[in-house]
Structure 1
Amino acid sequence: MEPSPDPCAPAPDPGNPAALLHDLAQELGLSRHWRDVEGRDQTVSDTALARIVTALGYPCDTPQALARSHARLAVAARSLPAMLVTEVGRPTPLPASLTHARITAENGEAQDITLEAGVLPAIDTPGYHRVSLYGHELTLAVAPARSPTLTDLLPEARQGERLWGPAVQIPALRSARSGRPYGTLAELAEAVDLFAARGADALAINPVHALFAGLGEGYSPYSPSSRLHLNTALAAPELAGLPPLDLDAEIDTPFIGWKKALPRQHAALRALFDALDPATRARIAGETADNESLQRQALFDALDTHHRAKGRTRWQDWPAKLRDPDGKGAAHFAETHAEDVAFHAFTQWLTAKGLESVQARAKAAGMAIGLVGDLAVGVHTAGADAWALQGAMLEGLTIGAPPDPLGPLGQNWTLTGFSPQGLQRTGYAPWIAMLRAALSRTGALRIDHAFGMARLWVIPEGHGPEDGAYLSYPFEDMLRLAVLEAHRAGALLIAENLGTAPFGFLGALEERRLLDMRVLWFERAADEGFIGAGDYPADSVAMTGTHDTATIAGWWRGRDLDWAHDLSRLPEGTTRADADAKRDWDRGLLWASLTHDATPRPEPDDPAPVLKAALTHIGKSPAGLAIAPLEDILGESEQPNLPGTVTEHPNWRRRLARPLGEWLQDAQIAERITALNDARKGPADPPSG
């Protein structure tokens, strides 16, 4: 993050529009200067800066407009916020003119407090408290000093244990009992049973956020319609006591045919809903009627499917009267299409019941954590959240990454996210609701691209990533609220912190005891070798890889280099022969780090010994949790997703060749799992040096 402006610096010259623009951008949290991954200083052009400032809602095309925008910000800065966020044991500064406050705790107990120099004394009880300041009501969120840790989660008899679990792609799973075209929550439940029986305490999954209902495209779990609600394509009615879906689909294929599978599944859900008896329908309606957020999601899905049939693929293209979720037009549609809205509320209810069932199953089987959920960094610009949370979301801007050596043109993820001003204006309600939804059915939560709590690279719509800039977020507040919600849920927080961290970011995570991700491929020593198992921090998640990295078998075989060569993605000036030579050298470095002895290095076409050694490596680390992608446990060469591709690689389409239960009976695979489990149960390796 950029440092705060100097309050003693001279005001910009009102006759200098460029200076006014720069000052306005800084007040909005935009970094005009930034440093790239190679340490080179970069400057955002005034043209790009003006586009972003305008998209944030502050016109700046004339000196008069700039002056008015400055005045608006000044008024906002003097106003009391809707929410103050603090920590237990820390006093909270207020305007010095205030001398009295009345605080009402969550349990209803109230007390009057005299303020000294406008400072609210420290509060020792975490939670959301109401504060009255001379008639102005606001919420005071008081977070614990740290996030829950494994020590908090484990019973006394298991204190000090180091846990492990697989990471699975739910749609990739197969079951011996199912004729589904992709894996659902039923297959996830079976995976939980299989791994719990083998000693796992966690099972990590990709985001289960809502996609566009019944749409056979745009199936990436990281491009959701809503992060508040669930992907109903994963619904398994049998987990809620209803008949399983009857899907007439091709199942013996290596790739998921989403284009046919999702509409078929959606139609089968509708047939199931239409066949419900009145008592069951009334019961489900009673459980969902008072959930305003769920009803709004159901309304969006009904509107979206209705208008997609007419060729309108974005809510921004709907009739104007329907673009306001609180308007009369949307209310009229809900009344005249009540059956459709009820159906979509049913699918959300069904999916939630299934996810709750899987987590309960994991805990009943003895898993200390159970499911490790995943929180995507943003949402589709035409999705439910962008429609339902207008004013709290970035509009006219998308998020991505600046140009760097791995992506010379930068990245535009074509997603949107929360607006910093919108979050503060709404008292962080959307952020809290999203965290609460994600934590409600899991034992831990991974925050994808956690740097987004501090800053995001924002890009004006219609422009390339090179025209973007870093936008700062209220990091301290967002992190404290995440810790508070994790405390209330009794869940772990895991921060995906791969890449260049903003200033102060890593220290703040460490202070609050969030687990950070330590992925084998990126844990290199000063001599470019791989660090020893004992050098992984205790407050971390040791991983052999992620869905975005090469699998162990694929890396050892050079399968990732095949893809890079075929798609012309090798680093500039690097030939395939160069890449192969570098990989051969790196194989030696990895093998030396994994074995510490004179065991002969396996040939590139023999990754089996490397798989076992790598799993043992993370198993022996002091990290509180070790996660191995299922692909590394099974010895698969292909990775689920290849970043920077859309159609060039079969992202999010791969399926297991056979049911998971059959895979785990294979002697080599069973030996790998035993090696990881035994390494976790034994002593951790000491730090090197």
Structure 2
Amino acid sequence: MTPIEEIAEAAGVARIWHDIFGSEQVIPEARLAPVLAALGYPVGSAAEIARSRDRLASEAATPPAMIITETGIETALPATLPQGVGALLVAEDGTSRPIALTNGRLAAVTEPGYYRLVLGKTELTLAVAPPTCHGIDALGDRHFWGPAVQIPALRGATPTPFGTFSELAEAAHLFAARRADAMMINPVHALFPGHGAGYSPYSPSSRLFLNTAMADPALLGLPPLPAAPGGALIDWAGALPARHAALRASFATLDAETRARIAADSAAEGPGLRRHAIFDALDSRFRPIGADGWRAWPAAFHDPDGVAVADFAREEAEEVEFHLFTQWLAREGLAAAQAAARKGGMAIGLIADLAVGVHGAGSDSWSLRGQMLDGLTIGAPPDPLGPQGQNWLLSSFSPRGLRESGYAPFIAMLRATLARAGGLRIDHAFGLARLWVVPAGQGSPEGAYLRYPFEDLLRLTALESHRAQALIVAEDLGTRPFGFTAAIEARKMLGMRVLWFERAADQGFIGPQDYAPMSLAMTGTHDTATVAGWWTGRDLDWAERLHRLAPGESRAAADAHRAWDRGRLWGTIGGGAPCPAVDDPAPVVRAALRHLGHTASRLALAPLEDLLALREQPNLPGTLDEHPNWRRRLGAPLADLLDDPATAERVETLAAARTEAFPGH
């Protein structure tokens, strides 16, 4: 290998990768160089190459901040740690005991947890994971079902511009009463406060804290916010600033006792919460004058530990307290929704969604300096579904930053997302093994794959799943890294099996018995066509309108291909009945839900859009304003919709299909 290729290998940047067809792709040095420079290993000259080699060697010689292992196995310690010394293991409760260290191998530990490992004068963290996540088997030998909902789309009896945790709690109650076991929700990570443009749940400011727009004081017994009716599409530009102002008015009415309770609860959450509240206070100060994120703030405020930030927090203490209040409202509101699910009898309750990355100018990127990628965004390489690739314009953790921090931000992120849920879906779970990174300002084709410490991240996920007693779903749709499927199956993570992608070699749809048992089956996701929309060609209408048909394909050709595919689908799910007309999706939706209920997958979730037989999907990937992404609302309160006989029949179809297919469970 050339010197640049050697540095790329040591830095975890893949020079060779295989596309969706298995074809080998080679990244030229000219494309490796900017990626390596952004990672801190410039290779533009012989001197830079020498310095980058020295830095990599120094990093390799640095003792780790954390060692991650599993219960019941000996652990080989890296040579950078002291050898031939006494070893002491200190548990989280403070108890300690000697532990054998023989020939550089630490004796097996039987109890999962985080320990302090003392080797002579050296101390580090030892994370001991169970062999698997808290699997679905722990809930009993049953096949579970439920809906997947977009919280902002929900309506309740009180007019609101978008759904909140109050409507979520009601939805949990309503579906629990209909024997549902789980309810998957969209990400509820923190967005920029009161910002009416950045409303995608998959582009958060922070994955450590919550979207305060979802908070509802009435859910916690405080005076309700003013009623504010909304239309068929959410007007985020008006609704989010208005909600922010209403929350400010609510904060102004708090009595001293409530404020003291909020302050105590906030302090118990740790210093990260206060730092995030300071970020939101600064964003609220500078955004009105045109600063979109911290990189556009005055330079003095770029350092979260700097004097300017400390002075601001002291001078604007009341503003910081307001943002702590909204986070408190959101935490308690989400907890109330999960409590409603479990009280209603759901075996799992809420399944949270963990976004793959964060906004590069948001709270996490500001506060976790050195632990996040800088100068790189993440996305996906070109493939047949996206010939130009995808640049999501998001940041994520730096592999080096994770190792140097003892994986602290990754652990904190998992805990924050699992704290008020019975399960977690990891969006683009391939990111545990590798991410496609793109130099700032470049397009996706200029990117490369960056390797992540897959086994370490899997073990930490299993440990946090064990501690939270929560399921883990790994969204594994797309081109899988080699060995990925076997690795997550071994950890008892549920992979995802979506109706549209479950095809046989001849492109026909597979039968329900052929679904992998340890998986989550769905009729669709927020990014795919609904069953009714697919059957009637609504997705093709959008593709034609937005010039997104396959290159060289006419609408007539797309319709002809869809007609053939309808026959394939109905041949699998139709039960021998006559094929419905294109403009009659109702029997197809029922059949798809029956098919879903019969799948061997231990968990089956139907998007609410399919339970309601809607034709429009929540999000159209690759679009911004061309399609009303994340703006659609239900046409009536959910309680009324579920009482509608046609909807009630569809919900019962799914519930009954689970019982029919697995009567002994």
Which whole-Å CA distance do the structure 2 matches of 1:218 and 1:107 have between them? 42
Which whole-Å CA distance do the structure 2 matches of 1:309 and 1:606 have between them? 49
Equivalent position of 2:593 in the other structure: 615
Equivalent position of 1:682 in the other structure: 660
Distance apart, 1:48 and its partner CA = 2.0
Structure 2 residue corresponding to 1:133, chosen from 85, 109, 119: 119
Distance apart, 1:102 and its partner CA = 1.5
Q: Aligned in 2, Cα 1:95/1:226: closer, same or farther, shift over 3 Å?
A: closer
> Does the CA-based 8 Å contact 1:403-1:466 persist in structure 2?
yes
Equivalent position of 1:180 in the other structure: 160
> Does the CA-based 8 Å contact 1:621-1:685 persist in structure 2?
no
Distance apart, 1:293 and its partner CA = 1.2
Aligned pairs for 1:279-298 within 5 A: 279-290=257-268, 291-298=270-277
1:532-561 residue CA offsets vs partner (Å, 9 max, x unmatched): 111111111110000000000000001111
Matched, 1:167 2:152: no
| Amino acid in structure 2 at the alignment position of 1:99 | G
| Amino acid in structure 1 at the alignment position of 2:323 | H
1:244-295 residue CA offsets vs partner (Å, 9 max, x unmatched): 1114x442x2100000000000000000101111221122112213421111
Equivalent position of 2:632 in the other structure: 654
| Amino acid in structure 2 at the alignment position of 1:510 | E
1:477-504 residue CA offsets vs partner (Å, 9 max, x unmatched): 0011001000000000000000011011
| Amino acid in structure 1 at the alignment position of 2:528 | T
Equivalent position of 1:235 in the other structure: 215
Q: Aligned in 2, Cα 1:95/1:312: closer, same or farther, shift over 3 Å?
A: closer
1:411-441 residue CA offsets vs partner (Å, 9 max, x unmatched): 1100000000000000000000000000000
Q: Secondary structure at the match of 1:661?
A: helix
Which whole-Å CA distance do the structure 1 matches of 2:95 and 2:515 have between them? 45
Equivalent position of 2:243 in the other structure: 265
| Amino acid in structure 2 at the alignment position of 1:37 | I
> Does the CA-based 8 Å contact 1:185-1:236 persist in structure 2?
yes
Matched, 1:99 2:84: yes
Distance apart, 1:684 and its partner CA = 4.0
Which whole-Å CA distance do the structure 1 matches of 2:273 and 2:62 have between them? 33
| Amino acid in structure 2 at the alignment position of 1:198 | R
Between stretches 608-617 and 95-104, larger displacement belongs to 95-104
Equivalent position of 1:9 in the other structure: none
Which whole-Å CA distance do the structure 2 matches of 1:535 and 1:439 have between them? 31
> Does the CA-based 8 Å contact 1:621-1:684 persist in structure 2?
no
Structure 1 residue corresponding to 2:521, chosen from 501, 522, 542: 542
Matched, 1:491 2:474: no
Distance apart, 1:230 and its partner CA = 0.3
Equivalent position of 2:224 in the other structure: 244
Which whole-Å CA distance do the structure 1 matches of 2:547 and 2:71 have between them? 53
Aligned pairs for 1:455-494 within 5 A: 455-494=434-473
Equivalent position of 1:605 in the other structure: 583
Runs of 5+ consecutive residues of structure 2 not aligned to the other structure: none
Between stretches 354-363 and 33-42, larger displacement belongs to 33-42
Distance apart, 1:299 and its partner CA = 0.2
Matched, 1:89 2:72: yes
Equivalent position of 2:133 in the other structure: 147
Distance apart, 1:135 and its partner CA = 1.1
Q: Secondary structure at the match of 1:354?
A: helix
Equivalent position of 1:4 in the other structure: none
Which whole-Å CA distance do the structure 1 matches of 2:553 and 2:84 have between them? 67
Q: TM-score, normalised by structure 1?
A: 0.94
Equivalent position of 1:108 in the other structure: 94
Q: Secondary structure at the match of 1:664?
A: helix
Equivalent position of 1:16 in the other structure: none
Equivalent position of 1:8 in the other structure: none
Equivalent position of 1:79 in the other structure: 62
Equivalent position of 1:47 in the other structure: 30
Which whole-Å CA distance do the structure 2 matches of 1:63 and 1:132 have between them? 41
1:155-196 residue CA offsets vs partner (Å, 9 max, x unmatched): xxxx322111101111111112x1211111111111111111
| Amino acid in structure 1 at the alignment position of 2:142 | E
Structure 1 residue corresponding to 2:191, chosen from 211, 214, 219: 211
Structure 1 residue corresponding to 2:372, chosen from 361, 385, 393: 393
Q: Secondary structure at the match of 1:279?
A: helix
Q: Secondary structure at the match of 2:539?
A: helix
Structure 2 residue corresponding to 1:325, chosen from 297, 304, 326: 304
Which whole-Å CA distance do the structure 1 matches of 2:263 and 2:392 have between them? 37
| Amino acid in structure 2 at the alignment position of 1:128 | Y
> Does the CA-based 8 Å contact 1:533-1:685 persist in structure 2?
no
| Amino acid in structure 2 at the alignment position of 1:370 | G
Equivalent position of 2:607 in the other structure: 629
Which whole-Å CA distance do the structure 2 matches of 1:582 and 1:259 have between them? 39
Which whole-Å CA distance do the structure 2 matches of 1:24 and 1:563 have between them? 45
Equivalent position of 1:383 in the other structure: 362
Matched, 1:122 2:105: no
> Does the CA-based 8 Å contact 1:556-1:587 persist in structure 2?
yes
Which whole-Å CA distance do the structure 1 matches of 2:551 and 2:171 have between them? 42
Matched, 1:33 2:16: yes
Equivalent position of 2:45 in the other structure: 62
> Does the CA-based 8 Å contact 2:574-2:588 persist in structure 1?
no
| Amino acid in structure 1 at the alignment position of 2:500 | W
Which whole-Å CA distance do the structure 2 matches of 1:683 and 1:554 have between them? 27
> Does the CA-based 8 Å contact 2:597-2:661 persist in structure 1?
no
Distance apart, 1:41 and its partner CA = 2.1
Identity of aligned residues (%): 58
Q: Secondary structure at the match of 1:31?
A: coil
Distance apart, 1:685 and its partner CA = 10
Aligned pairs for 1:415-564 within 5 A: 415-564=394-543
1:214-234 residue CA offsets vs partner (Å, 9 max, x unmatched): 000110000000000000010
Equivalent position of 1:5 in the other structure: none
Matched, 1:665 2:643: yes
Distance apart, 1:45 and its partner CA = 2.6
Between stretches 503-512 and 317-326, larger displacement belongs to 317-326
Distance apart, 1:207 and its partner CA = 0.2
Number of equivalent positions: 660
RMSD: 1.3
Which whole-Å CA distance do the structure 2 matches of 1:402 and 1:683 have between them? 40
Distance apart, 1:353 and its partner CA = 0.5
Q: Aligned in 2, Cα 1:188/1:113: closer, same or farther, shift over 3 Å?
A: closer
Between stretches 336-345 and 586-595, larger displacement belongs to 586-595
Runs (4 or more) in structure 1 with deviation over 4 Å come to none
Q: TM-score, normalised by structure 2?
A: 0.98
Matched, 1:587 2:566: yes
Q: Secondary structure at the match of 1:610?
A: helix
Equivalent position of 1:304 in the other structure: 283
> Does the CA-based 8 Å contact 1:392-1:422 persist in structure 2?
yes
> Does the CA-based 8 Å contact 1:534-1:685 persist in structure 2?
no
Equivalent position of 2:352 in the other structure: 373
Equivalent position of 1:576 in the other structure: 555
Distance apart, 1:321 and its partner CA = 2.0
| Amino acid in structure 1 at the alignment position of 2:648 | A
Which whole-Å CA distance do the structure 2 matches of 1:472 and 1:280 have between them? 47
| Amino acid in structure 1 at the alignment position of 2:9 | Q
Equivalent position of 1:226 in the other structure: 206
1:488-541 residue CA offsets vs partner (Å, 9 max, x unmatched): 000000000000110111111011111111000000012211111111111111
Which whole-Å CA distance do the structure 2 matches of 1:231 and 1:78 have between them? 41
Q: Secondary structure at the match of 2:661?
A: coil
Distance apart, 1:585 and its partner CA = 0.9
